Structure 1
Amino acid sequence: MANIQTMAEQAEKISRQLGIDKYDIYGSSVEETSVQVDRGEPKQVKASQRSSVIVRVWNGDRQIGVTSTTDIDPTGLELALKTAYEASSFGAREHVPDFSPEAQAPTAEVTRSQISPAPVPDLVEKLVYAEKELLEAHPAIASVPYNGLAQRALERFYLNSDGALRSEARTYASIYLYSKTEQEGRKPRSAGAVRVESGLKKLDIAGCLQEAAEKTVSHLDYERIPSGKYQVVFSADAFLSLLSAFSNLFNAQSILDNRSLSTPDSLGQQIASPLLSLYDDELNANNIAAETFDGEGTPTRRLPLIENGVLTHFIHSAGTARRMGATPTGHASIGAKVSVSPNYFHVMPGEAADDSYRLDRADNVILIDELQALHAGVNALQGSFSLPFDGWLLRDGKRISVESATVAGDFRQVLNSILHIEPDAEVIPGGICPRIWVSELSITGEE
C-alpha cells in the first residue's frame, strides 16, 4: 500500500485538475500465507497479496459516484476519481451518503504487536505436528480432513477532501483443526477448534489441538434423545452465532429498510431478560483484529446495545445516524452502497442471577456447543430459527453426546427466557460470551 500522506497529496492535486470538490477514499491491502496438510504432507500452500480501494466523488448536485480499483499510483488514482465523478451524474438524489461528522475525531490509542511473517516451512512443520498429535489423541480419530494455519498482514486507510487522514496496520495468525472419527458400527463424529493471535509465535496450537481432541472424543458415545421441550445451555460460540444471525435487531440500516425485528421506537424497550447486557466492543483487548475506525473514518468504540435487558443503542453509519437523529457508531462499510454490521460482541451478566445453575449438577438439560446451517435455518425477519446442532444431554452432570437433533424457537423468546448467565466468559474469534441458560426450547431428536 502506498504512503497514505503521499496518496492524499496526489488525490488533492488530481481532484483540482478534474474540478472535483468533494471526494473520499477508503482502501485496504492484505498479504496472506496459508497452508493445509494431509497425513503429514503439505496439501496446499498459498500466498496472496490483495488490495482494494473504494473512491467516492460528489458532484455539484450532491449526487455521488462510486468506483473501485486496485491501482493506486497517480494514473490509477486519476482514472478512479474521473470515473466516479462521471458516475455521480447517475447517482441517487435521496438519502445520499455524506462524510461522517466524526471522520476527523481522535481514534483510540491501541497498542498492536506487529509480528514479522514466519517462513512457510515453519507453518507446515507446526501444522504437521498438530495434525499428528490430534491423530494420536485417540484410536477412533481417523483423520483431520479440515485444517489450516495462516498468517496475515493488513493495512487500511481512509482520507477525504476535508482533510481526514487515517491509517493503521496489524498482523495476526490463525489455526483451525477439525477431526473426524471412524468406528465400526457407529456414525462418524467430528469436532473442531480455532485459535487466533497476533503472530505465529503467540498462537496457542497446543490448546487448539487439545480442545479439538476433547470435543471429538466426547461425541463418540452418542445416543438418540426423545423430542420435546428442554432447558438449554448455549455455549459462547452458539449464542454469538444466534446474535449475529439476528443482528438486524440493532442494525439502523435494516430498521430504515423495514427489514428488522426492531423499529425506531424500540429504543428504551425491554427486549430481553434483565440478566442480559450486550456490548459491541470492537476495541476490547481480546479482539486481535480490532480496528480503530470504520469504512467512513468514524472511530470505533464500546457501544452498549442491551443493558439489563433494555435496548439502548442501534449501530449506525453516518447516513443512518443523520436520518435517525443519532451519532455514527463506527460500524459502516463503504462500497457501491454503505452497509452497517456489528463488530465484536461482548455478552455480560446484567442483574445477578441464581448461582445454583451448574453443569456438573444439571439433569435433563441440553448443552448446545455449535449451531449448524445458519444460512438456511434462520428467518431473520420473523425471528424464528430451526437449526441442527452439536451438543450433549446432561444427566446428573454427565455429558452424553446427542446423535442428531434440531433446536427450534423464536430469538426474541430466547432473549426473554434467559435463566442464568455464567460469570466466566469465553473468548472466541467473534466475541466474548459466557454460557447462557435458557428456560425451554423445542428439541427434535432423530427418529
Structure 2
Amino acid sequence: MSTVTTIAEAAKSAASKLNISKYDIYGAAVDEVSVQVDSGEPDQMKASQRSSVTVRVWNDANTVGITSTTDVDPVGLELALKTAHEASFFGVKDNAPDFSPEATAATHGKSGGKHPQAPVTELVDKLLGAEKELLAAHEAIAAVPYNGLAQRDIDRFYINSAGAMREDNHSVASVYLYTKTEEEGKKPRSAGAFRVSEGVAQLDVAACLKETAEKTISHLNYDKIKTGKYQVVFSAEAFLSLLGAFSNLYNAQSILDKQSLSTAESLGEMIASPLLCVTDDALHPENVGGETFDGEGTPTRPVPLIVNGELKNFLHSAGTAKRMDAQPTGNANMGAKVTVSPNFFHVFASDVKPEQTYSLDDADNVILIDDLQALHAGVQALQGSFSLPFDGWLIKDGKRVSVESATVAGDIREVLKSIVYVESETEFTGSGVCPRVWVKELSGTGEE
C-alpha cells in the first residue's frame, strides 16, 4: 500500500479536480501467510494480500455518499471520490455522519511496528513439531485435526479534507492447536489452546502445546452431571465470551437503535456486583497489535465501562456521541455504515472487599466453565438470556472431573449481579485480559 502522504496528496488533487471540498478515507491492508499440517505432512500453505478502502464524500447539502475500493493509486482514488460524490445525493438527511471532532487530536499510544516475517518452511517445521509432540503426549490423542500457524502484517490509515492524517502498522503471529482422542468404549474428547505474539520468534508454541495436552488429558476422565443449580466459575475466555455476546449493554449505536438491554438513562445504574470492573482498552500492554485510532480517525483510549458494578460509559462513534451529547471513544468501524464495537476488554477486581474468597483447590460441587459454545444460537441478546453448551469440569473436593455433555443457562443481568468473587490473576485471551469469575448460582443441565 502507498504511504499515507502519497494517498493524501493524490486524494487532495483528485478532490480539487472534481470540486469536492469535504471527504475522508479509511483503509487497511493485510499481508498474511498461514500454514496447516496433517498427520506429519504439510496440509495447507496460504499467502494473501488483502486491502480495503472506504471513501466518504459530502456534497454542498452536507449529505454523504460512501463507496469502497481496493485501489489507492491516483486513478482509483479519483474514481472512488467521483462515485461517492454521486452517491451523496441519495444520502440520509437525518443524523448524517460527520468528521470525528477528534480526527486531528493527538493519539494516546504508539503503533507496534512490524516484525520480520519468518520463512514458510520455519512455520511448517514449528507446527509439525508441535503436532508430533502432542500425539506423543498421551496414547489417547489420535489426531490434531485443527491447527494453524500464521503471521500477518497490518497497515492502516485515515485522512480527511480537514487535515487529518494518521497511520499505524503492526505485526501479529498466532498459533492454535486442537486435539481429538480415541479410546475404546469412550466418547472422543477434544481440547485446544492458542497463543498470540508480535512475531513468530516471540510466539510461545511450547506453552500452547502444553496447555492443549493438559486440557485434553484432563477431559479423558469424564462423567455426567445432574441437572440442577451450581456455583459456577467462568474462565477468562468464557466470561469474555458472555461480555462480547451481550455488548449491546454498553454499545451506544445499539441503544439508539433500541436494540439494547440498556437505555440512554442507564448510566450510573448498578448493573453488576460491586466486585467487578470492566474497561475497554485498545492500548492495553497485552493487546498484541493494539490500534491507536478507529475507522473515523478518533484516538483509541481506555474507556471504563463498569466501575465497582456501576455502568459508567457507553462505546461511541462520532455520530452516536453527537446524538447522545458525549465524546467519541475510538470504537467506530468504517464500512457501508459506521458501526460500534469493543476493542479489547480488561476485566479486573475492584477495590471492594469480597465477603469471602474462593479457590478451586478446595472447591466442592462447583462447575468450572472453560469454553462456551454455540453463542450464535444460544444467546438471546435482546432478552438477556442464554442457554449454551460448554466444556468444563465439575470440581469435587478440589479434584476435577470433566463434564461429559451439558449446558448452562441464565440471564446476563443476573449473572453480573450474582458475582461473588473476582480472582486477582488475569489471563490473556484474543479479546481481552480477564481473571476467573465466580458466580453464586446458575442452572446446569446434564445429559440424561
TM-score interval, normalised by the smaller of the two chains: over 0.9
Q: Return the TM-score normalized by structure 1.
A: 0.99
2-side partners of 1:159 and 1:167: how far apart? 9
- The DSSP-based 3-state class of the residue aligned with 2:101 is coil
CA distance in 2, matches of 1:145, 1:374: 22
Letter in 1 for 2:403: V
Moved over 6 A (4+): none
Q: Per-residue deviation at 1:6?
A: 1.3
The CA deviation at 1:288 is 0.3
2:219 counterpart residue number: 219
* Worse-superposed segment, 352-361 or 285-294: 352-361
Alpha-carbon distance in 2 for matches of 1:12, 1:72: 13
Other-structure match for 2:376: 375
2:113 equivalent to 1:88: no
What residue identity is the alignment partner of 1:394? I
Q: Distance in 2 between matches of 1:54 and 1:180?
A: 42
What's the counterpart of residue 345 of structure 1? Answer: 345
| Partner in structure 2 of residue 163 of structure 1 | 163
- What do the CA deviations read for 1:136-181 (whole angstroms, capped 9, x no partner)? 1100000000000000000000000000000011011000000010
Q: Is residue 111–residue 170 contact of structure 2 (8 Å, CA) maintained in 1?
A: no
- The CA deviation string for residues 256-286 of structure 1, in whole angstroms up to 9 with x for no partner, is 0000000000000110000001000110110
Q: Which amino acid aligns with 1:195?
A: R
Q: Using a 3 Å threshold, how does the CA distance of structure 1 residues 111 and 157 change in structure 2: closer, same or farther? A: closer
2:139 corresponds to which residue? 139
Q: Do 2:222 and 2:401's aligned partners in 1 also have CA atoms closer than 8 Å?
A: yes
Q: Which secondary structure state, in structure 1, belongs to the residue aligned with residue 92 of structure 2?
A: coil
Question: What amino acid is aligned across from residue 257 of structure 2 in structure 1?
Answer: D
Quote the Cα distance in structure 2 between the aligned partners of 1:112 and 1:244. 25
Counterpart AA for 1:40 = G
**Native 8 Å contact 2:407 2:445 kept in 1:** yes
State the match for 1:43 in structure 2: 43
Partner of 1:416: 417
**TM-score w.r.t. structure 2 length?**
0.99
Hey, what does 2:360 align to over in structure 1? 359
Which residues in structure 2 correspond to 1:365-444 (within 5 Å)? 365-444=366-445
Aligned to 1:11, the other structure's residue is in SS state: helix
Moved more, 353-362 or 270-279: 353-362
Counterpart Cα distance in 1 of 2:353 and 2:305? 19
Q: Secondary structure at the match of 2:123?
A: helix
Whether 1:265 aligns to 2:243 is: no
The AA in structure 1 aligned to 2:439 is V
In 2, the alpha carbon distance for the partners of 1:111 and 1:296 equals: 17
Which residue matches 1:101?
Answer: 101
Matched, 1:255 2:255: yes
Deviation at 1:111, TM superposition (A): 5.8
Q: Percent identity?
A: 65
Q: Which amino acid aligns with 2:239?
A: F
Contact 2:380–2:386 under 8 Å retained in 1: yes
Aligned equivalents of 2:284, 2:414: Cα separation in 1 = 29
The code of the aligned residue for 2:413 comes to R
Which consecutive residues of structure 2, in runs of 5 or more, have no partner in the other structure? none
**Pairwise CA RMSD:** 0.7
* Residue of structure 2 equivalent to 1:29: 29
Greater mean alpha carbon deviation, residues 210-219 or residues 108-117: 108-117
Note the C-alpha offset of 1:355.
Answer: 4.9
Deviations 1:63-87 (A, max 9, x none): 1100000111111000000000000
Instruction: Identify the residue that residue 67 of structure 2 maps to in structure 1.
Output: 67
Q: Which digits, 9 at most, give the CA deviation of each residue in 1:120-141, with x for residues without a partner? A: 0000000000000111110000
* Paired residues, number: 447
Q: Secondary structure at the match of 2:191?
A: strand
Moved more, 9-18 or 121-130: 9-18
The one-letter amino acid paired with 2:118 is A
Amino acid at match of 1:246: F
